[in-house]
Amino acid sequence: KWKGEGTTQNLESIVIGRCYDYIRIVNPAVGEKNCSEIWEAFKNAFVNKDPCSILPEDYELFINLSLHTIPPNKSLFWENNHLLVNSFAGRGRRYMSLADTLFGFCGDFLNWCGQANSIELDYESCPTTEECENNAVESFWRMASITYAQHSSGVIHVLLNGSAVGGAYPEPGFFADYEIPNLQKDKISQIAIWVVDDIEGPDTDSCGTHTVEKLENRLRTLGYDVTCTDNYKSVMFLLCVDYPDDSKCTLSSSLLFWTGSILPAA
């Protein structure tokens, strides 16, 4: 009936299992959390309701139960880079993206929706954002984004894709619409933007041009100290794992090799 994919099979087991995985193994620093209560609050946001009338506020209890501190200087915002961000963040070891918080971790890669006048989830199909924006998944990420931005502090990192069609900084987008407006200026020392192109992709957008320039101007107008780096090396190294022979990858490794072997030890 809807155009989107249905609820992920075994949703309850996955969410409860992820919650325990998170609090016991991924990030025990969050302390004790009640994973069955967290699941109930998550489910009650959308079951037995019109799947097009779910609001971000419906996840308020879920968020309150799963909220924890986001370490300063660890926040990583992004657009069009889901898998790269997952590996770069390293489940919170390097950075803590929204999907590395307990509340984001519970929903990452999953799909879900309920039905009006039934306590059953809909495993056949769910509304897409084009069909109705007040759907269970969209409202979840809006609420999660708002909360994540409000609790981010120190140096804020933003990883954008310089090869993305339509620009590295999409508007509308979660970062533009739900995250920037909810950053707490007095807790933020700097915003570091990284614009990284796909290894075999076009260089569509860079620091100081097109949509990235727009983002830099917006943040500076808001009073932030903004830096921007093209093809930030650490991220490039990670991308190069899959393209060791591409010229973008061999150049930096041969430079490292040559400088290391030619320069005399200091």
Gap between the Cα atoms of 171 and 233, Å rounded: 27
d(CA 19, CA 26): 10
Closest CA relative to residue 23, chosen from 81, 105, 139: 105
The binding track of 41-80 with respect to ligand ENP, each residue x by CB under 6 A or -, is ------------------------------------xxxx
Gap between the Cα atoms of 96 and 157, Å rounded:
10
- Verify binding: residue 139, ligand ENP, rule CB under 6 A: no
Give the containing element (helix H, strand E) for 3.
none
DSSP state of 192: E
| Cα separation, 226 vs 200, whole angstroms | 28
Closest distance to ligand ENP from the beta carbon of 7 (Å): 11
Site for ligand ENP in 225-244 (CB under 6 A): none
Cα dihedral 60, 65, 69, 73 sign: negative
Environment class of 97 (CB within 10 Å of its CB; exposed 0-12, middle 13-18, buried 19+): buried
Q: Taking contact as CB under 6 A, which single stretch among the options 66-74, 114-122, 174-182, 200-208 is the one that binds ligand ENP?
A: 174-182
In the structure encoding, which two tokens stand for residue 114, read together? Answer: 């309920």
Among residues 13, 20, 57, 109, the one that binds ligand ENP under rule CB under 6 A? 109
Within 8 A by CB and 6+ apart from 126, the residues are: 2, 4, 5, 6, 7, 51, 111, 112, 113, 135, 136, 137
**Residue 137 binds ligand ENP, judged by CB under 6 A:** yes
Written as one letter, the residue type at 122 is D
For the bound state, the minimum distance from the C-beta of residue 56 to ligand ENP, rounded and expressed in Å, comes to: 11
Query: Which span sits near ligand ENP by CB under 6 A: 36-44, 137-145, 225-233, 234-242?
Result: 137-145
Core vs surface per residue 169-195: b (16+ CB within 10 A) or e:
bbeebbbbebbbeebeeeebeebbbbb
- The distance of closest approach from Cβ of residue 237 to ligand ENP in the complex, given in angstroms and rounded to an integer, is 22
Beta carbon of residue 2, minimum distance to ligand ENP (angstroms, whole number): 15
Among 44, 53, 73, 111, binds ligand ENP (CB under 6 A): 111
Q: Does 205 bind ligand ENP (CB under 6 A)?
A: no
| Footprint on residues 178-197 left by ligand ENP (CB under 6 A) | 179
Minimum CB distance to ligand ENP, residue 105 (Å): 9
Indicate whether 160 belongs to the interface with ligand ENP (CB under 6 A): no
Q: Which stretch binds ligand ENP (CB under 6 A): 65-73, 121-129, 138-146, 186-194?
A: 138-146
Q: Is the peptide bond before 56 cis (omega within 30 degrees of 0)?
A: no
Question: For residues 35 and 98, which CB has a smaller minimum distance to ligand ENP in the complex?
Answer: 98
Q: With binding defined as CB under 6 A, does residue 113 bind ligand ENP?
A: no
Among 7, 66, 97, 139, binds ligand ENP (CB under 6 A): 97
Residues that bind ligand ENP (CB under 6 A): 77-80, 82, 97-99, 104, 107-111, 137, 141, 144-145, 173-175, 179
